[in-house]
Amino acid sequence: MPAGIEVFFTEMNNPWGNADPGENYWVNVYHPDGDEQIGITATAGHASIDLFPGRYVVAGTTGGCYRNFDSNEVVVNVGCEERVCITLIPRSLHSCVWWTYVALAVIAQRPHLAREIAEPAWQALDVLQQIERGIPDEHRMREFFKEGLAPVARDLDLDLKDIRPG
């Protein structure tokens, strides 16, 4: 069996759900020597891709309303005659909006971190709040993904309530 990867997609924001077979999914594989495979079709949320042994960055792409077009990115090490399974989580627009809001709120509250954008960050926060409120509940990211901010909040002495949109 040749070396390569087996790529699976989950439901949007749901690492435990299987991909929606009616959606379109594509896989993008990047290698440091520039050898890229872009737009490999993942029929029903699955793609089997032969690769030479090495380290690759793998990301998925999908489309649709309230979706972030790119999934999470995964770095995978493929050994000789080895097939590695990867599962990608398509993220929602809400996820993108929320994390952008968090980043800009941190900068707005701590302008010394990025003086060039601290002032416009306040304006962007108002717009992002309006967008966030308009996203339907079924397209919101799961609450446990937000817990990833806890170490940053501790490090910067932030109150998480101060940076939650809505």
Same domain for 139 and 99? yes
DSSP states along 6-62: EEEEEETTEEEEEP-TTS-EEEEEE-TTS--EEEEE-BTTEEEEE--SEEEEEEEEE
What pLDDT, on a 0 to 100 scale, did the predictor assign at position 37?
93
Domain closes at, from 61, 88, 115: 88
Same domain for 124 and 66? no
Domain closes at, from 68, 88, 108: 88
Same domain for 101 and 84? no
Per-position pLDDT tens, the chain of length 166: 689 999 999 988 889 999 988 889 999 999 988 889 999 999 999 999 999 999 999 999 988 777 778 888 999 999 998 999 999 988 888 888 888 988 898 888 889 989 999 889 988 998 998 998 899 988 888 888 878 777 877 777 776 665 655 4
What pLDDT, on a 0 to 100 scale, did the predictor assign at position 49?
96
Same domain for 14 and 41? yes
What is the domain range of residue 118? Answer: 93-163
Q: What is the pTM of this model?
A: 0.80
